[in-house]
Amino acid sequence: MSNEALKTLKGLFKDHPDAFKVFNLESLEKDYLKGKLKTDAFASRINLYVTGRTGAGKTSLGNSLLDSQVMKSTGLQDCTDFIGFFKLAGNLAYFDLPGIGSNINYENLNRVALLMDQRSGNKFSNPPVNPLKPSDELLIKDFSKCINPNIPPEEESITVEHWQYDVQQADIAPDVILYVLAPDKQFTDDDRQYLGNLLETWKERTERCIIIPVLNIFSKEDGTVLPTSNEIEYSCREISDLYQVVYPNEELPQIVPIVKINSKTGKGIAKITELICKILPQEKIGNLGQVLHKDLKKYAQQERRGRYYRTLSLIASIMARYTVDKKVGGQSLLQTATSAIEAYGIRTFKSAEAVSEVNPEMDSVASKVENIVKDKTEEITEKEDIIKPKEITENVPIYGNVTTTKQVVVKKPKVVKKKGWVFSKEEIVMEEEVVTLTNTQRDIIDYKKEVIGMVDEVIGQSEKFVGHKYQPGGYPAIKLLLGLGEGIQFYCDNQQKNSQSWLACLEQGELMVERKLSPYKSQIEQLVNADDGEQKLIQVLEQALLKNQSKSR
């Protein structure tokens, strides 16, 4: 997961190609040494000869030391038919000899330069072998003034006799010889014969062994090593056996110090320099001994830490300006950044292979990320009416039969007999009578309430959640990422001592970062939100981390 996160974050930092470049101690020591070798390394001139099979990487090793590509090499068979030379201001004279094991005539140039017996050919040799005579000339190309490939080297011819003359040898005889072999090209019988002759020749001429065996471990662009482990082991075993034959056990350490390098990158230069100083007499070493024993490690450690801090400052500055909801590959960007820093820190202070081996417990870091996201996330709400439905009613009449009565007085005629003196007489009179009149009709007899519709009525208000507002990670994110970077460094340092747990190292890193950042906290918080604050924020973080860094540890 950590390596995948590192790849993901690298994709986001395309504008910063060196952001995640791993500066291990060896590469930094190499750079420091190369600078010293160019200035004030040795007390007097040191002649360093480099020999070995054609295509083994002799010339590229010289270019690495020179920190240039002025000594041209194609890596093909028979590519060097002259003695290449350059001298650095640090009193190092470098001799690049023609390769062996291919063209015998070119190999004889090599053998003559190293005062070895020449090889003779036979009727099957192609091209025909013409051993060099004392009067034949050797071509010397001096690359000392070639500050770029367009400047041609100075050329000089010298006869074999003059080269091998004792007076001349007093100036040019090798102080140290590097025998370079590429194990992926196999250690052949030609290699065995040549190295045996070389060891015997210089055992007779010097009181000490001046030949350092060097395995040039080529690698592909993806970092895959070309030689197999069996090829490397076989080459080491064969070389060791040869040394034991020429130098019995009582004359040579039991284990021959075979140096493994990468001539194109310069990896291994520090170890070569260390062995050179062991071979040389003390009066020739000069202040390089001080460089190797004290200055080199101190410089490399401080430089590695400084570059590591600069990368952390860059990551933290950019990540802190993203809002906490930012995702990449479906995962929180801030969480991805913590995993990437874990991988980057372990690669820096241990190795790429150790990323899966170290694997610190990151659950505590994940919970810290979640807390930052929570603190930097604000819920957005708005007022919402509380609605209750309400019935709309009206009074509806009820119809029925309504009977009414009415009493009226009516006059009705009535015959009344009246007696007279003689006859009775009928007389009609009008007599009043109360009559009750009844009337029945349909009319409203009552009313009832009836629902005729519905309406929404606001009876109050409530808070309604409508979304989130995300803020940049800001100062808490910076403190987390930088504290994690410090914690990883402490963890890698203390793993070898088994003295502190991961959580203790993380806590220690966070406390240290808090102490470093606290004087800049208000400025950091302002720059996080400033439109043009990124570069200034990076500078502030670098200043905070790098200030008195040697005293803080």
- Read off the pTM: 0.59
Q: CB atoms < 10 A from the CB of 70, how many? A: 21
Segment 463-488, tens digit of pLDDT: 888 888 999 999 999 999 999 999 98
pLDDT in tens, 31-69: 655 665 566 667 778 898 999 988 888 777 766 665 555
Distance (Å, whole) CA 276 – CA 271:
9
Task: Provide φ and ψ at 327, rounded to 5°.
Answer: -125, 155
- pLDDT over 90 (residue 72): no
Mean pLDDT taken over the chain: 82
Q: Tell me which range, 18-32, 227-241, 304-318, 425-439, is most confidently predicted by mean pLDDT.
A: 227-241
Domain boundaries, the chain: 41-286, 300-376+471-552, 381-466
Determine what percent of the chain is predicted with pLDDT higher than 70.
81
> Which residues, in sequence order, are CB contacts of 530 under 8 Å at separation 6+?
536
Residues 318-334, mean pLDDT to the nearest whole number: 89
Provide mean pLDDT across the span 231-239. 93
pLDDT score, position 552? 47
474: left (phi over 0), alpha (psi -120 to 50) or beta: left
With a cut of 70, say whether residue 296 has pLDDT above it: no
pLDDT at 238: 93
pLDDT digits (tens, 9 = 90+) for 245-279: 998 866 665 556 899 988 877 778 778 877 887 88
Instruction: Return the higher-pLDDT residue of 399 and 222.
Output: 399
Confidence of residue 551 (pLDDT cuts 50, 70, 90): very low
Note the pLDDT of residue 197.
96
Residue 45 backbone phi and psi in degrees, to 5: -60, 135
Lowest mean pLDDT among 272-286, 375-389, 446-460: 272-286
Judged by average pLDDT, the poorest of 106-120, 368-382, 438-452, 490-504 is 490-504
Which value, to the nearest 10 degrees, does the dihedral of the CA atoms of residues 483, 489, 494, 495 take?
110
Phi, psi of 267 (to 5 degrees): -60, 130
pLDDT for residue 500 is more than 80: no
d(CA 345, CA 308): 8
Highest mean pLDDT among 216-225, 280-289, 515-524: 515-524
Using the CB atoms, write b or e for 392-408: b if 16+ within 10 Å.
eeeeeeeeeeeeeeeee
Which pLDDT value is given to residue 110?
Answer: 94
pLDDT at 340: 86
Does 3.40.50.300 match the CATH number of domain 41-286?
A: yes
- Look at residue 335 and tell me whether its pLDDT is greater than 60: yes
pLDDT confidence bin for 134, thresholds 50/70/90: very high
Contact (CB, 8 A) for 329 and 8: yes
Mean pLDDT of 109-119: 95
Type of residue found at 421:
W
Tell me the average pLDDT across 343-371.
75
Q: CA-CA distance, 539 to 522, in Å (whole number)?
A: 15
Sorted by sequence, the CB contacts under 8 Å of residue 484 that are 6+ apart come out as 338, 341, 342, 345, 365, 506, 509
